[in-house]
Structure formats: C-alpha cells, structure tokens
C-alpha cells in the first residue's frame, strides 16, 4: 500500500500547479491537501476531521513556509518534536529565499528546502523530481516498513525477520 503525500499549501495557484506537477510525474500516491498549518497537524496527529484516518505517516510532506494559523516552521518544529512523526521526510516548498527562513528550517530538521521556481515548466519539473525522489526512490528509516507490515499482517512471516 502506497503512503500518501501530504501537501500543505494555502495559495490556490501554487496548490493547483503542484497538483498538476505531481499528476504529470505519474505517481500513484494519493495527495492529501492541507490548506494551513493547523489542518496539516490535525492530519498528522489524527485529530478533528482526520481522527478516523488510517494509521501511518505520509511518504513525504511538502510544506509551504508562510501558512495561515500555524506557519510552516512551527509545523516542522512540532513534527520533529513528536516521536511518531519525527521520521517523516519534510520538504519546505516556498517562495522565500530569506536566509533566516532557510537557516531556521534546517536547524529544525527539514530534509530539503526548495524555492518555488517562477516558470511553470521549471516548477513542474521541480515538483515531479521531488515527488519521485521522496515517494519512490527514498528509503524509509529501518523499522518503519517492518512495523507497517506487522500491523497489516501480524500472523504472516515477514521477509525481513
């Protein structure tokens, strides 16, 4: 079962462009959209409207920096401070080139910081590359797949046991 991609973006234009880019990359992963930091944390922590969502973390979180209610850096800080969420790859996807934002994101443990390209073709290419890398090529931390398989089929022998 493929893990979803959590896309946290409040700008309707950037959201639409990111969804187009992910679709063009032909990833089969479901894309879950959060339009602000609170909604992203609700999804990750399985609360409010997401209280009944299946267990498990997204394959990757694409996180905008400037978000309403709770900004991207505060979301990142919460993710890294929460043991169950700590291993989620987080890619800051932002228009900010400000050095303090970049430094703070890396000090909080972001996996990648990508400035959104202005040109549509470049934007699509960047998002496609990100999606393929984090959802397909990247190896999750040891143990995360074992735990997921054990929850799905605890009575079956595991390949990696």
Q: Structurally, how many domains does the chain consist of?
A: 1
Phi-psi region of 46 (alpha: psi -120 to 50; beta: other; left: phi over 0): left
In a domain, 157, yes or no: no
CATH of the domain at 112: 3.40.50.2300
Instruction: pLDDT tens for the chain, 161 residues: list them.
Output: 788 999 999 999 889 988 888 887 777 789 999 999 999 999 999 999 999 999 999 989 999 999 999 999 999 999 999 999 999 999 998 888 899 999 999 999 999 898 877 777 787 777 777 766 666 656 666 654 433 333 333 333 434 44
pTM for the model stands at 0.80
Helices (H), the chain: 12-24, 37-44, 72-81, 99-107, 120-132, 144-152
Q: Which domain holds residue 10?
A: 5-152
């Amino acid at each position: 079962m493929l893990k979803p991609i959590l896309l946290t973006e409040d700008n309707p234009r950037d959201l639409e462009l990111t969804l187009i880019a992910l679709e063009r990359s032909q990833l089969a992963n479901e894309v879950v959209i959060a339009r602000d930091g609170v909604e992203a944390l609700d999804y990750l922590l399985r609360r409010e409207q997401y209280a009944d969502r299946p267990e498990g973390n997204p394959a990757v979180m694409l996180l905008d920096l400037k978000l309403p209610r709770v900004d991207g850096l505060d979301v990142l800080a919460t993710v890294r401070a929460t043991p169950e969420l700590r291993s989620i790859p987080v890619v800051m996807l932002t228009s900010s080139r400000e050095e303090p934002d970049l430094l703070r994101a890396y000090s909080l443990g972001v996996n990648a910081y990508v400035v959104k390209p202005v040109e549509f073709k470049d934007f699509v290419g960047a998002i496609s590359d990100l999606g393929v890398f984090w959802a397909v090529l990247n190896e999750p931390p040891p143990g995360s797949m074992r735990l997921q398989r054990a929850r799905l089929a605890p009575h079956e022998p595991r390949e990696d046991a």
